[in-house]
């Protein structure tokens, strides 16, 4: 299983042809207390950079983008009832959605965990 990161502060864990996608711990920390999450519908075909989910803190709404092309296969219903899970477990239980990889070559463009950590240091 390999994990990738994006400049939009999303992480992807790849298992077979399925990517589990969430926001990073850095992102949840920047957002503050999450009070609402809007998930994409299963079956939806999305392109890289498309806005597919929304995460809202008390302060503001932020978009979550599709990190790669693909088809949404599942949203994490846990976040609908317990949006605060995003603050507690951003990089584990509080994943946002799972998607079927549409173009695995796009993964090559994404960051490794070490690269992402270095990227965050520059912000």
Q: Name the site residues for another protein (rule: CB under 8 A).
A: 32-33, 35-36, 38, 54, 56-61, 80, 83
CB of 36 to another protein, least distance (A): 5
Q: Which is nearer to another protein, 38 or 71 (CB)?
A: 38
Q: Residue 81: which residues within 8 A CB-CB, separation 6 or more?
A: none
C-alpha torsion angle, residues 103, 108, 111, 113 (rounded to 10): 100
CB of 61 to another protein, least distance (A): 6
Radius of gyration of the chain (CA): 13
Q: Which is nearer to another protein, 61 or 118 (CB)?
A: 61
Q: Which is nearer to another protein, 14 or 78 (CB)?
A: 78
97 closest CA partner among 71, 121, 59: 71
CB of 57 to another protein, least distance (A): 7
Q: Which is nearer to another protein, 54 or 73 (CB)?
A: 54
- On whether the CB atoms of residues 28 and 34 are closer than 8 A, the answer is yes
């Amino acid at each position: 299983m390999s994990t990738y990161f994006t400049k939009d502060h999303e992480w992807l864990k790849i298992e077979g042809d399925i990517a589990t996608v969430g926001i990073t711990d850095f992102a949840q920390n920047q957002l503050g207390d999450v009070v609402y999450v809007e998930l994409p519908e299963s079956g939806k075909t999305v392109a890289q950079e498309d806005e597919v989910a929304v995460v809202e803190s008390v302060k503001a709404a932020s978009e979550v983008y599709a990190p790669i092309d693909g088809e949404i296969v599942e949203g994490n219903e846990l976040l609908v009832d317990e949006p605060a899970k995003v603050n507690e477990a951003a990089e584990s239980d509080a994943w946002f959605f799972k998607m079927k990889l549409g173009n695995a070559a796009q993964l090559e463009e994404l960051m490794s965990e070490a690269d992402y950590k270095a990227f965050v240091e520059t912000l």
